């Protein structure tokens, strides 16, 4: 199940183990907490109630378009469709017709996920993580589910 995160959700371990390239554990925890407070974070809840993934969307923060800034799945639960489901849920909730996300050039898992889910390459940003450019992707907002 995917739902909106609440400030009471225990997201520290997940944020810390997410291994998000270019984001250290402390910063990841801060970002996820702030997003949960702001209503910008969706979490994936496993059958046993554990939280095993999250996605953060910053509304209209990238040239006026929604930007998915963080996505992470617990290491032990990867390759079971959770990352794809979280991205899809974020796309359904988008507030702009086109949404963006980005990932480091070194992050082949995220690039494979974006390619499989039909995101379009937009361009490359340099000057962020030295030696590891940021690749930017976009897609259209998914139609609202009834
Ligand atoms: C990137 C990440 C979110 C993917 O989550 P996930 O739940 O494992 O992804 P899914 O199971 O939904 O994968 C869907 C498809 O993406 C592709 N994919 C995902 N991970 C892959 C990998 N490591 N290698 C190759 N392809 C991969 C595959 O096509 C996969 O389909 P398949 O399993 O049927 O082959 C996860 O690896 C992660 O949390 N990484 C650390 C944090 C991070 O890098 N976040 C992104 C930048 S913010």
CATH number at residue 93: 3.40.630.30
- Which among 62, 112, 119 is the best mutation to test ligand 1's pocket, defined by most ligand atoms within 8 Å of the CB? 112
54 inside domain: yes
Strand partners, 54: 43, 72
Strand, coil or helix: 35: helix
What's the whole-number average pLDDT of the chain?
A: 92
75 lines ligand 1 (CB under 6 A): no
Q: What domain range is 27 assigned to?
A: 2-140
Looking at residues 27-50, what average pLDDT do you find? 94
How many helices (H) and strands (E) would you count in the chain? 4, 7
Looking at residues 109-114, what average pLDDT do you find? 98
145 inside domain: no
- State the pTM of this model: 0.95
> Where does the pLDDT of residue 12 fall: very low under 50, low under 70, confident under 90, or very high at 90 and above?
confident
Looking at residues 76-88, what average pLDDT do you find? 96
What does the CA dihedral 70, 76, 78, 82 come to, rounded to 10 degrees?
-70
Residues shown for the chain: 146
Q: How many structural domains comprise the chain?
A: 1
State the pLDDT at residue 26.
85
7 inside domain: yes
Question: Considering only CA atoms, which residue is closest to atom 24 of ligand 1?
Answer: 109
Q: What percent of the chain has pLDDT above 70?
A: 95
146 inside domain: no
Q: What percent of the chain has pLDDT above 90?
A: 80
Which of 10, 8, 80, 3 has the alpha carbon at shortest distance from 50?
10
Task: Please report, for residues 68, 97, 104, 113, 117, the alpha-carbon distance to residue 137 in angstroms, rounded to integers and kept in the order given.
Answer: 10, 14, 11, 11, 11
């Amino acid at each position: 199940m995917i739902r909106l995160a609440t400030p009471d959700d225990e997201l520290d371990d997940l944020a810390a183990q997410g291994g998000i390239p270019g984001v250290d554990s402390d910063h990841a925890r801060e970002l996820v907490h702030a997003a949960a407070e702001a209503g910008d974070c969706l979490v994936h809840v496993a059958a046993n109630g554990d939280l095993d993934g999250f996605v953060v969307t910053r509304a209209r923060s990238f040239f006026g378009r929604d930007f998915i800034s963080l996505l992470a799945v617990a290491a032990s639960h990867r390759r079971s469709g959770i990352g794809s489901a979280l991205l899809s849920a974020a796309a359904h909730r988008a507030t702009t017709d086109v949404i963006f996300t980005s990932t480091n050039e070194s992050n082949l898992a995220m690039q494979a996920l974006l390619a499989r889910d039909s995101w379009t390459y937009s361009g490359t940003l340099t000057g962020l993580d030295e030696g590891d450019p940021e690749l930017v992707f976009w897609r259209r907002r998914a139609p609202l589910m009834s």
